[in-house]
Amino acid sequence: MLNIAVLVSGGGSNLQAIIDAVACGELPVRIALVLSDRRGAYALERARQHGIPTAVVRPRDYADRPAFDDAVAEILAEHQVELVCLAGFMRLFQADFMRRYAGRVINIHPALLPAFPGLHVQREALEHGVKVSGCTVHFADEGTDTGPIIVQRAVPVLEDDTVETLSARILEQEHLAYVEAIRLYAAGRLRICGRRVRVLPPAPPAGLANCPTEGPTD
């Protein structure tokens, strides 16, 4: 089973969606580690409640960004992590880390990329006056929210929306999108072709693929 790590900085509602999907058998992966850059992140509490190993790696404890990245990479290796899921993790890794984990880091973002990368994007979407927003799960690369897109889900922007109501509507879709993206990855159905991610059809059920065609019986 695929070993994943979920990297968090805050409340961890996306982490919770992943935990719940694993618990009910919808997502065939093992959450090997939840790692945070903040001691107080509530997401860590969610992990502990489910007996999932946790780690805290704080940038202030390291001399520079490469040293922080190395510390994270070392812990991921210790836990034999195969896929890194950034779920509200408010740090960017540098080029060396991203090269080491190329194609093995995915991120969720609360906007329809490439519109509104970065921070405070629900506010930016409202201020810009878009009529539709949503969320994106994408492979991470060295840029900010720039990697190839795996799954997007859209929501309407309503006349009386505030940042809070729009964020909540997007978050509901994030939980579905993230589980879907991890499921596709775990099933080996994603291929990165330049900027595009091809989603392969599901494999036929085991045992049926090589059945010889039956000939006439008489």
Q: What count of other Cβ atoms lies within 10 Å of the Cβ of residue 215?
A: 5
When asked if residue 108 is in the footprint of ligand GAR (CB under 6 A), the reply is yes
Among 109, 138, 153, 169, binds ligand GAR (CB under 6 A): 109
> Cβ 116 to ligand GAR, closest distance in Å?
10
Q: How many other C-beta atoms are found inside a 10 Å radius of the C-beta of residue 27?
A: 22
Local structure of 85: helix, strand or coil: strand
Between CA 184 and CA 182 the distance in angstroms is 5
Query: What is the rounded distance in angstroms from the CA atom of residue 195 to the CA atom of residue 50?
Result: 36
Closest distance of CB 216 from ligand GAR, Å: 58
Q: Which of 88, 134, 147, 148 binds ligand GAR (CB under 6 A)?
A: 88
Which one from 50, 79, 109, 175 is the annotated catalytic residue? 109
Tokens 């509490």 appear where?
A: 45
Q: Does the annotation count 109 as an active-site position?
A: yes
Identify whether the C-beta of residue 154 lies closer than 8 Å to the C-beta of residue 123. no
Compute the least distance from the CB of residue 54 to ligand GAR, in Å. 15
- Point out which residues bind ligand GAR (CB under 6 A): 8, 10-14, 43, 87-88, 108-110, 171, 174
Catalytic residues: 109
